[in-house]
Amino acid sequence: MKVAIITGADGGMGFEETRAVAQAGYHTIMACYSPKLAEPKCRQLIEETGNSHIEVIGLDLASLQSVNHFAGQIRDRFTEVHLLMNNAGTMETGRHITVDGLERTASVNYVGPYLLTRLLLPLMKAGARIVNMASCVYLLGKLDFPEFFEKGRKGAFWRIPVYSNTKLAITLFTMSLAKKVKEKGITVNAVDPGVVNTGIIRMQMFFDPITDLVFRPLIRTPRQGADTAIHLLLDNDVTGQTGTFNRSRKIINIGEKYTNHRQMEDLWKQTEQIVLPFLNSELLDM
């Protein structure tokens, strides 16, 4: 049975992505921050889909040791991973530093998924698909080093620019990795779900309750937001498609500025240095 891994699988879009791959017959790993909260949803999906091969494994993307431990469990149990959906994300409302000395948004949205993908790549063969959750706000992103990793951005913390910076980073990672693994037949694509009615949208300013009432009914449902990701994970007509940015089931031309971004190589090298303690000799040659 083929293996699929979905991070943040108990959240809105993650839950829909998990349902889709489970219905497609995959042994589905729900990689979740809180396994206790995810277990009831896992049981729900087993009942709904009739697929008994759905399980929850804990994963905290704000801890590189947790990412390493999760990947170790996967390597110990499975010989191959066919689908990896880097879905989990956060938009922190304040600056929080992880045990690894990283700003939490940067860790959860970028460095954690980067390390997870790197650790699982040896289990991926031709035909494997990696899909990264990006966003159109990559256009607002700006990468200053080392501030991006340590504080999210230069200057005071502001959640929208910090979130945008992480989405630029995951987009550049997608384009860079796609080039590196293309000859192996592994595809890597990014998806912009649009504005989706999930818990990541937090309304906290004094006017936010009114904004919440007016705004949320107009935005996409989790199933609508997950649709393009599911398309990239499962559909035959995207077989071989790689290094693309997608929205509403269409490839979006993001231009040379981003497909060959001037900071792409520097971002890769600096991230490699951060995750180096968790990479063995097999993983270093990329």
Whether 286 is covered by a domain: the verdict is no
Q: What is the pLDDT of residue 11?
A: 82
Pairing of strands 250-252, 187-191: unpaired
pLDDT bin (cut points 50, 70, 90) of residue 244 is very high
- Decide if 170 is inside a domain: yes
The catalytic position among 33, 110, 114, 163 is 163
> Where does residue 60 rank: exposed (0-12), middle (13-18), buried (19+ CB within 10 A)?
buried
Active site residue 163: yes
Distance CA 112, CA 69 (A): 12
At 12 the pLDDT is: 84
CATH number at residue 168: 3.40.50.720
Question: What tokens appear for 214 in the block?
Answer: 């007016």
The rounded distance, in Å, linking the Cα atoms of 77 and 191 is 29
Q: What's the confidence (pLDDT) of residue 280?
A: 82
222 sits in which H/E element: helix 222-234
Name the pLDDT band for 282 (thresholds 50, 70, 90).
low
Residues 116-130: tens digit of each pLDDT: 999 999 999 999 999
Count the domains in the chain. 1
Q: Note the pLDDT of residue 216.
A: 55
Question: Using the 8-state DSSP alphabet, how is residue 217 labeled?
Answer: G
Mean pLDDT of the chain: 91
Say if 285 falls within a structural domain.
Answer: no
Looking at residue 204, what is its pLDDT?
45
What are the pLDDT digits (tens) for 15-59? 999 999 999 999 999 999 999 999 999 999 999 999 999 999 999
Residue 97 DSSP symbol: B
- pLDDT, one tens digit per residue, over 162-200 is 999 999 999 999 999 999 999 999 999 999 986 545 554
Q: Is residue 284 part of a domain?
A: no
Mean pLDDT of 218-238: 86
283 within a domain of the structure (yes/no):
no
- Which comes out higher in pLDDT, residue 263 or 225? 263
Over residues 77-91, the mean pLDDT reads: 97
pTM of the model: 0.91
Residue 203 above 50 pLDDT?
A: no
Is 99 inside any structural domain?
A: yes
Q: Please check whether residue 67 lies inside any domain of the structure.
A: yes
In terms of residue numbers, what domain contains 180? 3-278
pLDDT score recorded for residue 108: 98
Q: What is the dihedral of CA 258, 68, 39, 92, to 10 degrees?
A: -50
Question: What is the per-residue pLDDT for 202?
Answer: 45
User: Does residue 134 lie in a domain region?
Assistant: yes
Give the pLDDT confidence of 104-117 residue by residue, as tens digits: 999 999 999 999 99
